[in-house]
Structure formats: C-alpha cells, structure tokens
Amino acid sequence: MQQPDKQQITTYLQGLQDQICRALEVADGRGTFREDHWQRPGGGGGRSRVMADGAVIEKGGVGFSAVEGEASAATLRQLNLTEPADFYATGVSIVIHPRNPRVPIIHMNVRYFELSTGTYWFGGGIDLTPHYVVPEDARWFHQQLKNVCDQHDPAYYPRFKTWADEYFYIPHRQETRGIGGIFFDYLKESGSVSKADLFAFHQAVGESFAPIYTHFMQQNRDLPYSPREQHWQGLRRGRYVEFNLAWDRGTKFGLETNGRTESILMSMPPQANWIYDYHPEPNSPEADTLTWLQKGIQWVDM
C-alpha cells in the first residue's frame, strides 16, 4: 500500500475544509463563510473561513493551514527535541459557537506534523461543549466517535476518550471544558499499523464532524430559550476562553510559530461573560450541568 506524503495529506485537508464548510452552510440555511488567505512570514500559510450571524451559528471558524520553517526554541522544547530541525505542519481546525444555548459548542482539529529529521506524526480530536449537558445527547455523541474508532482499532476509543478527559480539562476551575470526546497526538506507524492506516483513521475522524454537528444543529436549533439561558451561555463561553488561552497547546503552538493571530484566535466566542465568584442556584439546570463536568464519566460501554 502506498504511504501518503505530506502533499497528499495537505491536499486532502484542503478538501476537508471545503466539505465541512458546505455542510455547515446548508445546515445553517442563512450564514455563509468569509474566506481570508494568509501567508506566514517564516513559510507557508492558510485559508481562514469565518461565519458570523448565521441562523444557527453565531460565530464559527473553519481554518486550514500548512506552515513550515525552522522550529523555534520553544517548539523544540515542546516536542522534547534537542537538535535543530525544520518542521512542516498542516491541519484543519474548527470551533463553532451557536446562537441558541441549547445547541452545543463543538471543536475539531485534525493535523499532521513532519520534521526534517524524518519524524512525523498525526494528531487531532473532536470534543463537545454543551451549555446544558443532556445525557442522552452526550451518549449519542460518544457512540458516534466510538463507532469511528472501532472501525480502525477497538483500543482507540478507550485510549483516546481518556486522553480527551485529561486534555480538555481546566485545572484552575477543576472542571472539564465539556463532555469530552476523543483526543490523540504523536500517532506514528508501529508494528502492523502503517502510515496509510493512520491516515485513514485521521480521515475518518475529520469526516465524522459534519454529520455529528449538523445533527445537533437540526435537533436543537428551534428549542426555546430565555435571557436566563443566554446568561449561562455567556459564562460557559468564558470558561471556553479560559481553556483556549491558558491551556490549549494548539493556540500556544500557533502563537509561538508566528502564525496569523486572527486565525489562531478565531476560536473565541463573539461574546463571553465573567461574574466574580458566581455559583448557580442549587438544584437548577445550571448546577446540574456542573455535576457532569468531570473526568472519567463512561458515556458508552467501552
């Protein structure tokens, strides 16, 4: 079986961006993506696409990038490398902030990284951040991801689900960002698993995004909400901002490699709120949601 090279992977990811944007525009029914092409001074560039003021999507970003150059000292430290090296990194990254608080926030990233030393790896993941956790929806979401993983390796879902619980965690709040999903990084060929096998899994994760999220868009878009739910939505968006700016490795990598700031920060919500020492009313839907924001919840049978 022919092993994919970086150009084949890059071309695929450009097409994935196109596919996802078309699906989101159709599901939204009103919003369209604005596209910006950008160049990175150190090498490479990308296409940033942002939707604002859609019928369902208040703000959503679907970004593609392919950047290259000499790895900075900070990047070498992050990758545990001691010798200088050039890097090539390409990926698609998505964050969608819906208008209706009953529709969840979603994030996906699929990426490929290669060094001039010959080392390469795949990474990525997809996770869901409901403003209000609905256990039935959480189970459905996790089952979709498990189905994708099981088609490639039954060990993937338990491993990558646990990894997501650990990664999408806000230590200073002692809560998860949402209900998790899957997260993987540094996937390299080993044993009977080839680079082509890993790329096939990488593709399957990327192509799961549109069916999963358009399901939630259609199911929840017309559910009623009031200023109370919008107030809570603003606070949960604030938690999302805290994670992305304080803990997300992708944000740090982009800023440290002189990526385009507007593209890196397109994951930020259009509005977010912070209230000092806020605590929801006991036994309220908001308080109930906080009880689900913890590691280790087994949404589906492993």
Alpha-carbon dihedral of residues 282, 288, 293, 297, nearest 10 degrees? 130
Q: What Å distances lie between residue 167 and 160, 229, 294, CA to CA?
A: 10, 27, 12
For residues 21 and 35, what is the distance between their CA atoms, to the nearest angstrom?
11
**107 carries an active-site annotation:** yes
Helix (H, G, I), strand (E, B) or coil at 222: coil
Q: Is 210:24 a contact under the CB 8 Å cutoff?
A: yes
- What distances in angstroms separate CA 156 from CA 31, 74, 212, one per listed residue? 35, 30, 19
Set 37, 97, 107, 152: catalytic member: 107
Strand ranges, E, within 217-299:
none
Helices 135-150 and 156-167: crossing angle, nearest 10°? 130
> CA distances (Å), 27 to each of 54, 170, 216, 290, in order?
10, 31, 10, 29
Beta bridge partners of residue 183, listed in sequence order: 125
List the catalytic residues: 107
